[in-house]
Every structure is written in C-alpha cells, then in structure tokens.
C-alpha cells in the first residue's frame, strides 16, 4: 500500500509514571471509540503467566511487553486500524525508530500527547498507587524518592517527537478529555476512521 492510502492513525500517550497517561488515554479511547493498548496490561499478563520475583525479572518481562506492544501496534495500524498506545515511552527508546518507517510507508497519521508534572507530585501519585494496591504485585517499586528522581524526570521522559504534539502539565489539575478529543480532531486526517 502506498503512502497516503491508509487512513489509520497511531495516537501515543507519553510521559512519566504518575503523569496521568492511563486516566486520560482511557477517557479519550472511550470518547472516540478507538482501541487502547496499555503496555502495563501486556506486562501484567506476562506476570500472571510466567510469575514474578525481583527487579531483574520485572525488567525482562518489561522488554517482552515492549516487543508485544510494538508487534500489535505495527500490525494494526499498517492494516488500517486507528489505535491508542499508552506507555512510559522515552526519546531513548527504539519505539519511534521501530514504527516510523512502517507508518510513513503506509500513510499512518502519528500523534503524541505528552503529559508531565512536577517530580514530587509524580512521586506522590506513584507511591500512592503502590500503597493502594493498584499495581500488579509483579511491578517492583522504587525504593527511595531519590531513586525515583534519578530515573523519572523531564530530561528522561521528554516528548518522543513521534508526530503532531500536544503537551499537558498535570501538576495542579487533570486535563479535560473533551479538550484532548477536540485537539485530536484537528490533527488527525479527516478521512481517518476514529468513530
């Protein structure tokens, strides 16, 4: 299929843990009736299937979950299906390098919605999720706030630069899903099927 003939889109929610990606991605997915794939869902299934133990094992399953997410995303968008991806993508990941050639070849629109927040706010949200039991027990938490700060910051979790970009700061308030839906409507090809 030549460039421009495929009217699908790949919408990616990016940013650090605790920025609010999953909440907003689910709301947008439901509002636009677009399938959503969250990398954590793949990783949780791997935990349930293969078990869990320490951080090294968690990282191995994390790599496997990346491979699964990329395979699913590539297959669907290059066959005309518009999808939303939610994960803690980073500029240093091979994500953009992996998907950019195939999406360009098939005329897939690419959109990035990047969420950020003050690192102390991110840590408080992240820690609260673990304490509340909202994460699969296979996920290994950062042991200290400093460790979190070293691994999670605006330099590491900058926008990926994958396509049209909307940046949102959630430090003080969650963005309205309707605002994001409206923005997407102006940045997706009008022929993209995003019902």
DSSP string, the chain: --TTS---EEEEEEE-TTSSHHHHHHHHHHHHT--EEEHHHHHHHHHHHH---SHHHHHHHHHHHHHHHHHHHHHHHTTT--EEEES---TTSSHHHHHHHHHHHTT-EEEEEEEE--HHHHHHHHHHHHHTT-S-TTSPPPSSHHHHHHHSSTTTT-----SEEEEEE-SS-PPPHHHHHHHHHHHS-TTS---
What pLDDT was estimated at residue 130? 82
Model pLDDT, residue 52: 87
Quick check: 94 pLDDT over 70?
Answer: yes
- At residue 189 the predicted structure's pLDDT band, cuts being 50, 70 and 90, is low
pLDDT tens-place string over residues 117-168: 999 999 999 889 888 877 887 887 787 889 888 888 888 899 998 889 999 9
- For the chain, domains (ranges, CATH) are 9-186 (3.40.50.300)
How much is the average pLDDT of 171-182? 93
Structure confidence at residue 5 as a pLDDT band (50, 70, 90): very low
- Please state the rounded mean pLDDT for residues 156-183: 92
Give pTM, 2 decimals. 0.88
pLDDT of residue 28: 94
Residue 23 has pLDDT above 50, yes or no: yes
């Amino acid at each position: 299929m030549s460039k421009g003939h495929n009217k699908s889109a790949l919408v990616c929610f990016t940013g650090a843990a605790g920025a609010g990606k999953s909440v907003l991605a689910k709301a947008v997915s439901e509002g636009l009736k677009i399938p959503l794939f969250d990398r954590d869902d793949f990783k949780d299934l791997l935990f349930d299937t293969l078990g869990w133990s320490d951080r090294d094992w968690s990282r191995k399953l994390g790599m496997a979950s990346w491979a699964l997410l990329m395979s699913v995303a590539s297959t669907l968008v290059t066959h005309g299906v518009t999808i939303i991806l939610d994960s803690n993508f980073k500029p240093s990941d091979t994500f953009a390098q992996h998907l950019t050639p195939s999406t360009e070849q098939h005329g897939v629109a690419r959109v990035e919605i990047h969420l950020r927040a003050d690192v102390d706010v991110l840590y408080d949200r992240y820690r609260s999720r673990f304490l509340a039991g909202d994460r699969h027990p296979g996920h290994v938490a950062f042991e200290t706030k400093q460790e979190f700060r070293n691994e999670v910051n605006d330099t590491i979790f900058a926008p990926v630069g994958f396509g049209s970009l909307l940046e949102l700061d959630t430090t003080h308030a969650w963005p309205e899903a309707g605002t994001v839906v409206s923005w997407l409507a102006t940045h997706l090809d009008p022929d993209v099927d995003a019902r």
